[in-house]
Amino acid sequence: MKIYGNEHLISTFQNMLRTGRMAHSFLIYGEKGLGKKMVAGYLAQLLVCENEEKPCGRCRACINAGNNTHPDIIYAEHSGKLGGFSVDTIRNISTDAYIHPNNSNVKIYIFTDADNITVQAQNSLLKLIEEPPSYAYFIFTAHSKSVFLETIISRAVSLSVSQTDISTALTALNDYGITEEQANDAVGCFGGNIGMCLDYINQDELKNAVQLTKRITDCIINRDEYSLLYALTEAASEKAFLKNILSMLDRIIRDSLALKYQEESFIGCYRGGALKLSETLTVRSCGNLHRCVTDSYKLIDRNVNLKLVVSSLCGGIMNCR
């Protein structure tokens, strides 16, 4: 399993294994597309590998881990509309954890996309994480570690994933069989976030969202209220689509503010737009725009009518200038 970038994580895992100080619980967090699940898979493969050089990628355990068929690597089942983990699932895992491994010396439980894990589920897990069997390991992936209780955080090793540099991202995309033209277009939007670059290349919906976000940004730059309302209304076709666009717009606003402090660490999908915004907006205006967008995002989560949300957002944006 090849991990691009995030050398600090690989080094941390290897050092823990070499010194015999491997933690039993890990929280791996970071934004979408940065490879949290791949890092979790790498750690699981490292733990089950049967050869001296770990992970070798060649032994039966590594191959099974890579194919998600290893009997001692258990992925917790998501449930409910929000994709959390039910208390029953946690109780079953708590019981299963005390059954010795089948094919290896360890047993690993992976909780992917744990952003909506409930307080009740975490409390049910707490005793197991506090005093796990010597062979049991727990790996959680989430957008932010703030979704977890302090009692969980204090008993786990928290590690953040990060973007790669552009050169590494281009190499990774080439390894995935992406053409040079497609790769350059993708990194122009999502930089070293390899997962988002791949989604951009393969998913028309994300391409459409990026183009619409750029249109909205241009409308803000040009103070074109009519076109802004039209574009926002187009974005309001579906809740998840609108939330995605607002998230990308907020990143562009962040980039425009960073440029004012001579910090060229772009995280948004429209560098040219961020540059123009930075030239036309004050620091205060950037802050107001950010609050306007995030307030609208919260309204969507409260199930406010999407057309009302974008109408209010349009007026708010124009008043921020």
Whether 275 has a pLDDT exceeding 80, the answer reads yes
Task: Kindly give, in sequence order, each residue whose CB lies less than 8 Å from that of residue 254, ignoring residues fewer than 6 positions away.
Answer: 267, 268, 290
Whether 9 has a pLDDT exceeding 80, the answer reads yes
Which pLDDT belongs to residue 264? 73
Average pLDDT over residues 134-153: 96
37-56, pLDDT tens digit by residue?
999 999 999 999 999 999 99
- Judge contact between 5 and 162, C-beta under 8 A: yes
Alpha-carbon span 241 to 245, nearest angstrom = 6
Cβ count within 10 A of residue 290: 17
Domain-by-domain residue ranges, the chain?
7-160, 165-196, 203-320
Whether 320 has a pLDDT exceeding 90, the answer reads no
Give the chain's mean pLDDT: 94
Whether 80 has a pLDDT exceeding 90, the answer reads no
Instruction: Choose the CATH number for 7-160 among 3.90.25.10, 3.40.50.300, 1.10.3720.10, 2.60.40.3080.
Output: 3.40.50.300
Closest CA to 214 of 182, 248, 239, 184: 248
Residue type, 194: I
Describe the chain by its helix, strand, coil percentages, rounded to 5: 60, 10, 30
201-226, pLDDT tens digit by residue?
999 999 999 999 999 999 999 999 99
Whether 321 has a pLDDT exceeding 70, the answer reads no
CATH (residue range 203-320): 1.20.272
Alpha-carbon span 303 to 76, nearest angstrom = 29
150-189, pLDDT tens digit by residue?
999 999 999 999 999 999 999 999 999 999 999 999 999 9
The SS3 call for residue 7 is: helix
19-30, pLDDT tens digit by residue?
999 999 999 999
